Amino acid sequence: MRGPHDVGGLKAGPVDTETHDMTFWEKQIDALHALIGDDKRRIVPKGQNRRYVEALGEDVYNTLSYYERWTATMSQQLLEKGVLSREEIDAKVREIRDRLEATGELELREGEAEKI
Amino acid sequence: MAEPFEPGDAVRVREDYPPGHIRTPVFIRGKEGVVTRTFGRFDNPEITTYELEGPQKTLYEVRFRQVDIWPDYDGSPSDTLDVDIYEHWLEKA
């Protein structure tokens, strides 16, 4: 079985070799990922989110950016561990969405506005 | 404990396609190469990702010739590719 991540040897377009700076939220996600898997906390096994990322399915995998995949899978892991509840995540998303809407900083992907 | 392989050994990657979390990419399965380095023994991520206990596995660096991997490879025949592979994915070639 070939997961959506296992693309070695498949036809692909040119590789984007530009370097990209990580945004602040990407750094936050990276740090959270390290913390929930470190030896002190051991909330999840190291690197476990790779398995979750592979299980997102081809469509979602190819729609989300790298750290969006991590965000999606880490919230799933923390839900399963009982660290966060769905209600807590939804409430926080609403709070942030409202705040960004108020400041005009809310950026949505095409087609995303209708879903709200 | 004797290691199953050591640098210089000719090995073949198992040609197997099991479901689940696998750390050996599809493109290298069934290919033959030579062990170039032993990294040591580590927890097996194919087991620990499911939060299960299992024996540690030795991780190797295996060198493959590009022409052995890609049927239409048109680069130099001396081009190689190194892949990190756990012992349970390797057999004697």
Contact (CB<8Å) A51/B17: no
**Cβ-based contacts under 8 A for chains A and B:** 32
Name the helix (H) or strand (E) containing A26. Answer: helix A24-36
Lowest mean pLDDT among A63-67, A69-73, A106-110, B17-21: A106-110
Q: What is the predicted ipTM?
A: 0.84
Interface of A with B in 48-87 (CB under 8 A): 48, 50-51, 54
3-state SS, residue A42: coil
Lowest mean pLDDT among A41-50, A76-85, B6-15: A41-50
Contact (CB<8Å) A8/B17: no
CB neighbour list of residue A76: distance below 8 Å, 6 or more residues apart: A52
In this prediction, residue A114 carries a pLDDT of: 57
Measure in Å the smallest separation between the Cα of B51 and chain A Cα atoms: 7
For the whole model, what pTM was predicted?
0.85
Interface of B with A in 1-30 (CB under 8 A): 17-19, 21, 25-28
For chain B, the helix, strand and coil percentages under 3-state DSSP, each to the nearest 5: 15, 35, 50
Kindly report, residue by residue over B13-59, the tens digit of the pLDDT.
999 999 999 999 999 999 999 999 999 999 999 999 999 999 999 99
Confidence class for position A53, pLDDT limits 50, 70, 90: very high
Task: Tell me what the mean pLDDT of segment A19-24 comes to.
Answer: 93
Name the helix (H) or strand (E) containing B86. Answer: strand B80-86
Task: Tell me what the mean pLDDT of segment A2-20 comes to.
Answer: 90
What is the percentage of chain A residues whose pLDDT exceeds 90? Answer: 76
